[in-house]
Amino acid sequence: MPRHLLMRLESPLIAFGGETIDNYGVIRDFPALSMVTGLLANALGWRREESERHDHLQDRLVMGARLDSEILRLTDFQTVQLGKDDKAWTTWGVPEERAGGAGTYEAPHLRYRDYHAGLKVLVALRLEPANELPDLDELAQALDHPVRPLFIGRKPCLPIGRVFAGWQGADNVLHALQTAPLAGCGDSLRVQWPDGEGRLADDRLLDLCDERNWSSGVHGGWRQVREGSLSFPRASV
């Protein structure tokens, strides 16, 4: 029976980023494959320029997620007055300046960023092939002793507790999500997992674009996932 690594993603604010449109930073309900890849790579201490390592780790990941609490969204409105000499930090190493003529500096820079509030998420994952490095044991060690601070989607979203949540032996990802310990108390919990990793009677098949080309920094490609709900009886009082 394959071994799956479990991660608990909990924070006052969580951002599972989706497609950014203009100055609107939207979110998805489930963590993206690219986000989990980045979180693990950050724990291992990999640099962003090590794109081949990121791409290969992303290709090896077989993961799914379970929402152990209800969805509660909020939108953060951000505004700042930027002058001509003000520059913004970027991940590609070149300072960003405001485009346009002199009149563009008279208006503030506006952004809207969505977040999940108080969300509890369980992630179950394994690696294929399993015998390459890093392996699951190395990932677990890195999550408990990360080289750099971990965050969930955006840098302000710091986990409130231990991210590594143990191991689960399971036939597939869906089975791991079904049998892993609960952190919430809901009767029905939403789950998402890769197609081919189990079936539920009422699940639905979706095409998802959540893989990142780490060389170009652009998301692309499609993979098929399934979404459904797991029912858990409430404990008697």
User: pLDDT tens digits for 194-234?
Assistant: 999 999 999 999 999 999 988 887 887 789 999 999 987 65
Which pLDDT score is estimated for 186?
59
Which pLDDT score is estimated for 184?
59
Which pLDDT score is estimated for 14?
93
Q: Please, what is the Cα angle at 216 between 154 and 212, to 5 degrees?
A: 50
Tell me which residue of 9, 108, 103 sits closest to 63, measured CA to CA: 9
Asked if residue 111 belongs to a domain, the reply is: no
Retrieve residue 24's tokens.
Answer: 């609107």
Asked if residue 78 belongs to a domain, the reply is: no
Asked if residue 186 belongs to a domain, the reply is: yes
Which pLDDT score is estimated for 220?
78
- Count of domains in the chain? 1
Which pLDDT score is estimated for 54?
96
Asked if residue 199 belongs to a domain, the reply is: yes
Burial 21-57 (b: 16+ CB within 10 A, else e): eeeebbbbbbbbbbbbbbbbbbbbebeeeebebbbeb
- Residues spanned by the domain of 133: 3-73+116-231
Asked if residue 180 belongs to a domain, the reply is: yes
Q: Do residues 8 and 96 make contact, with C-beta atoms less than 8 angstroms apart?
A: no
For helices 136-144 and 33-44, give the axis angle rounded to 10 degrees.
70
Domain CATH number, residue 169? 3.30.70.2660
Which pLDDT score is estimated for 97?
67
Low-confidence ranges of the chain (pLDDT < 70): 19-21, 84, 88-93, 96-105, 184-186, 233-237
Which pLDDT score is estimated for 236?
43
Asked if residue 86 belongs to a domain, the reply is: no
Retrieve residue 210's tokens.
Answer: 């959540």
